[in-house]
């Protein structure tokens, strides 16, 4: 399994955006992403993702670095489940 590390922003609804690969993003980028989440009424997390994003068979490991835009611990498991459903459904076309 190829190992990849990404730094992503994960919204409470499972949508996500990669901010960096192999190298963490600058703090200013994280702050801009947090502001963008808040501007559209979403909360989320700054997350490290380890594993093969495109593999449907192997789950990736997501580790919250910190909460953004009012995210709560209670929302974390729901967001991760929605993320995994999105990730595996979007990779079926690959």
- pLDDT, tens only, 20-47: 998 999 999 999 999 999 999 999 999 9
pLDDT attached to residue 93: 45
- Hey, where are the domains in the chain? 5-89
With a threshold of 0.75, does the pTM exceed it?
A: yes
75, 30 Cβ separation under 8 angstroms: no
Contacts of 71 (CB under 8 A, 6+ apart): 12, 43, 44, 45, 79
The pLDDT of 75-89, averaged and rounded, is: 92
Count the helices and strands in the chain (H runs, E runs): 2, 4
pLDDT tens figures, 9-20: 999 999 999 999
Work out the average pLDDT over 40-56: 92
């Amino acid at each position: 399994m190829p190992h990849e590390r990404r730094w992503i922003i994960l919204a409470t609804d499972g949508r996500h955006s990669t901010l960096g690969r192999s190298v963490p993003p600058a703090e200013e980028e994280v702050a801009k992403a947090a502001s963008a989440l808040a501007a559209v009424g979403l909360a989320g997390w700054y997350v490290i993702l380890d594993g093969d994003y495109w593999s449907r068979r192997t789950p990736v490991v997501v580790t919250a670095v910190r909460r953004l835009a009012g995210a709560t611990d209670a929302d974390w498991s729901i967001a991760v489940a929605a993320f995994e459903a999105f990730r595996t459904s979007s990779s079926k076309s690959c």
